[in-house]
Amino acid sequence: MIYKFTPILKTLVWGTENWVLSGVKGSETVVADGPAAGKTLNDIYGGEFPLLIKFIDAKQDLSIQVHPDDALAAKRHNCKGKTEMWYIIGATPEAHLLAGLKESITPDDYVRLVAEDKIVSVLADHKVKPGDVFFLPAGRIHAICGGCYLAEIQETSDITYRIYDYNRPGLDGKHRQLHTEQAKDAIDYKVYPNYKVDYDPKVNAENVVVTDSHFTTSVYLLDKPITKDLSPLKAVEKNFLVVMCLKGDGKIGDTPIKAGEAVLLMGEDSVVFTPGQSGIKLLTSHL
């Protein structure tokens, strides 16, 4: 079956998040039409859906944050942690984001830098353009900055430790809570040589960009129909395929899709991705 859900649009101090597939308690997306209309994503899946799928439009800088890994989140919050990834769909000329450390610091350095409003000085700053991919394992400090429009795939978790918020008020006029001490134990303090995913996008082919225990994600740039074999996914209990449309329009099987939408496939042996006249750019993800 192929399902399309009614998205949930969230307005935040810095911009908007469009939750197109969500099993987060209290923010579950529901099937938009067909025989299953009105059922939640978790109803369809038969339990909590493991991924949260969003389109994010950042008009201003998001807070600098970090997420705990599964072990720490289970210990502290009785839930999963948050490993995630970003695909840049659109970017203004000055668009950038923060991901990872550019110099080595200690946990005590981190606390001091936050107190001195200098934490940004030790973070890796990346100019971005459409097509860029960033993988963000739990523990990596990060922030989306103004001018970025992106797709986000993450574990189903809403646990965020806010490190720094530029001393700005929230929508209620009050400063948002910081989680300095909680974040201290969650941060990965290692400096890595590269934080962006390097890949060579091929047309009319599957371009795998992330392979992780939490999800595998691929990019498709299509100007003609291709068939994807889904039989290998059946090795996973409760297997599925999420398809996000990043640009253009077309069909997933017989289901129309356009930019900013997503569909969920369950129980299919294969599927045909058919681009519209202007082509289509897709992002797929599965366990």
Instruction: Give domain limits for the chain.
Output: 2-184, 206-286
| Marked catalytic residue, from 76, 112, 162, 168 | 162
Cα–Cα distances in angstroms (integers) from residue 221 to residues 152, 232, 233, in the given order: 18, 22, 22
pLDDT band at 176 (very low <50, low <70, confident <90, very high): confident
Asked whether the predicted pLDDT for residue 169 surpasses 80, the reply is: no
* One fold for 2-184 and 206-286: yes
pLDDT band at 225 (very low <50, low <70, confident <90, very high): very high
pLDDT recorded at residue 276: 98
pLDDT recorded at residue 177: 87
pLDDT band at 168 (very low <50, low <70, confident <90, very high): confident
Asked whether the predicted pLDDT for residue 29 surpasses 90, the reply is: yes
Residues 122-127: what's their mean pLDDT? Answer: 98
pLDDT recorded at residue 40: 98
pLDDT band at 172 (very low <50, low <70, confident <90, very high): confident
Other beta carbons within 10 angstroms of residue 221's beta carbon come to: 19
Q: What is the dihedral of CA 123, 127, 129, 131, to 10 degrees?
A: -40
pLDDT recorded at residue 234: 87
Structure tokens at 89: 């769909």
pLDDT band at 8 (very low <50, low <70, confident <90, very high): very high
Average pLDDT, the chain: 96
pLDDT recorded at residue 235: 86
Q: Please tell me whether the overall predicted TM-score, pTM, comes out greater than 0.85 for this model.
A: yes
CA distance 272 to 95: 35
pLDDT recorded at residue 109: 98
Asked whether the predicted pLDDT for residue 175 surpasses 90, the reply is: no
Query: Which stretches does DSSP call E strand in the chain?
Result: 2-6, 8-12, 15-21, 30-31, 51-58, 64-66, 84-91, 96-101, 123-127, 133-136, 142-144, 148-155, 161-164, 206-211, 216-222, 226-229, 241-252, 255-258, 262-265, 270-286
Structure tokens at 6: 């009614």
Residues 158-181: what's their mean pLDDT? Answer: 86
Asked whether the predicted pLDDT for residue 267 surpasses 80, the reply is: yes
- 8 Å CB contact between 64 and 121: no
CA distance 33 to 31: 6
DSSP 196: B
- Please choose, from the candidates 275, 64, 247, the residue with its C-alpha nearest in 3D space to the C-alpha of residue 151: 247
CATH class of the domain comprising 206-286:
mainly beta
Quote the percentage of the chain above a pLDDT of 70.
100
Active-site residue 76, yes or no?
no
Count CA atoms within 13 Å of residue 149 on its CB side: 11
Name which of 1-15, 125-139, 161-175, 218-232 the model is least confident about. Answer: 161-175
CATH T-level topology, domain 2-184? Jelly Rolls (2.60.120)
Task: Check residues 170 and 11 and name the one with the higher pLDDT.
Answer: 11
Asked whether the predicted pLDDT for residue 167 surpasses 90, the reply is: no
pLDDT recorded at residue 142: 98
- 8 Å CB contact between 113 and 105: yes
Phi/psi for 107 (5° steps) reads: -55, -35
pLDDT band at 173 (very low <50, low <70, confident <90, very high): confident
